[in-house]
Amino acid sequence: MTDTSFLDIRDLVVEYFSNGETVHAVNGVSLHLEHGRTLGLVGETGAGKTTIAKSILRILPDVGSRIKSGEIYLEGRDVLKLSEHEMRKIRGNECSMIFQDPMTALNPVQTVGEQIAEVVALHHEGIEVSPEERAKQMLEIVGIPRERYGEYPHQFSGGMKQRVVIAIALACNPQLLLADEPTTALDVTIQAQVLDLIKELQKKFNTAMLLITHDLGVVATVCDTVAVIYAGTIVEYGTKEEIFDHPSHPYTIGLFGAIPQMNDDQEWLTPIDGFPPNPTDLPVGCPFGPRCRYFSEKCRGEVGYVKTADGHDCRCCNLDRVMEEK
């Protein structure tokens, strides 16, 4: 952990259990994040992104899941060793989460104002106004008139619901924001507005953010550093500029190859062949091996991180060959 790290995840391993099988959801993930910075966690659906975020808050299901090993440091404290009482003080206060679907994240029988005020009432230290007044302030901060405090979620559009979810997450000025695909359910115009709002509020409160997404356009807009995850494993990790200008892992190259380029006269995109592996039966060695055109026998062994020419981390044992043919 560096001196400036606020969040430091070390060798995190998380498993789920279903019908007698073990789902290997997260496999030795290590990440770090500094105050005021944004880390983008990018990968296909089922890669383990949300599981990592839920592990930080320790809100994985009580039954059918476990954090097998690893450490998660939040300002020097290993949250995996804290009591549930201590974790309740952290959730919503020091660390908050914007959940993926605002339709299901909000309670339909409580007004939006009550739901924001509830968070403030639980963590009122440092808040000089009443929970109700703070809730109204937060509505105004996210662009909703305070007069709508007493309205219910069904009276709001999808974009407005997402703004309410953001207001709940930021009501107590958290130092860490976990944003789980916060714009997935929104149309493109509202998506841009919500991203601008998140960036503005993050700058105002100097909040660190872990942004979970599969949209590289969102990453380009918001993030400082990027971690590309595949089958529960980080395969490439570096600054946004390093990943976008010099993608080095075959999976990352494949992701960029599947994106339409407006200034390129291409007739067909280049999809990644095959499908993600079954998480209950991961391949030996590199998890991307069965889909990789650079696959060789050494990929069946232990695959560690190597430094690319520009200095970021890439988990590939055929990196020289990939770079030659790129």
For the chain, which domains are there? 5-223 (3.40.50.300), 247-325 (no CATH)
pLDDT greater than 90 at residue 53: yes
The pLDDT score that the predictor gives to residue 128 is: 74
Tokens standing for residue 41: 């966690």
Closest alpha carbon to 170 in 91, 110, 96, 88 = 96
Q: Mean of the pLDDT values across residues 252-275? A: 81
Residue 250 predicted with pLDDT over 70: yes
Bigger pLDDT: 322 or 7? 7
Chain segment 158-168, per-residue pLDDT in tens: 888 988 998 89
In tens, the pLDDT along 273-309 reads 889 999 999 999 999 999 999 998 889 988 889 999 8
Spatial CA neighbour of 109 closest among 51, 154, 60, 54: 154
**Rounded Cα gap, residues 230 and 217, in angstroms:** 18
Nearest 10 degrees: CA dihedral of 182, 82, 230, 227? Answer: 70
Average pLDDT over residues 49-75: 95
Structure confidence at residue 322 (pLDDT): 86
Does residue 269 carry a pLDDT above 90? no
Share of residues in the chain with pLDDT > 70 (%): 97
Confidence of residue 127 (pLDDT cuts 50, 70, 90): low
Whether pLDDT at 2 is above 70: no
Nearest in space to 89 (alpha carbons), one of 75, 100, 99: 75
pLDDT: which is higher, 76 or 125: 76
**3-state SS, residue 211:** strand
Report the pLDDT averaged over residues 9-20: 94
Q: What is the pTM of this model?
A: 0.89
Mean pLDDT for the chain overall? 89
Q: Identify the CA nearest to 172 among candidates 212, 131, 143, 209.
A: 131
Q: Spell 247-285 as b/e; 16+ CB within 10 A means b.
A: bbbbbbbbbeeeeeeeeeeeeeeeebeeebbebeebbeb
Burial 172-197 (b: 16+ CB within 10 A, else e): bbbbbbbbbbbbebbeeebbeebbeb
Quick one: pLDDT band at residue 33, thresholds 50, 70, 90?
Answer: very high
Q: Can you give the pLDDT at residue 195?
A: 83
pLDDT value of position 1: 42
In this predicted structure, what is the pLDDT of residue 162?
87
Backbone angles phi, psi at 96, to 5 degrees: -130, 160
The pLDDT assigned to 230 comes to 96
**Residue 106 φ/ψ, nearest 5 degrees:** -100, 145
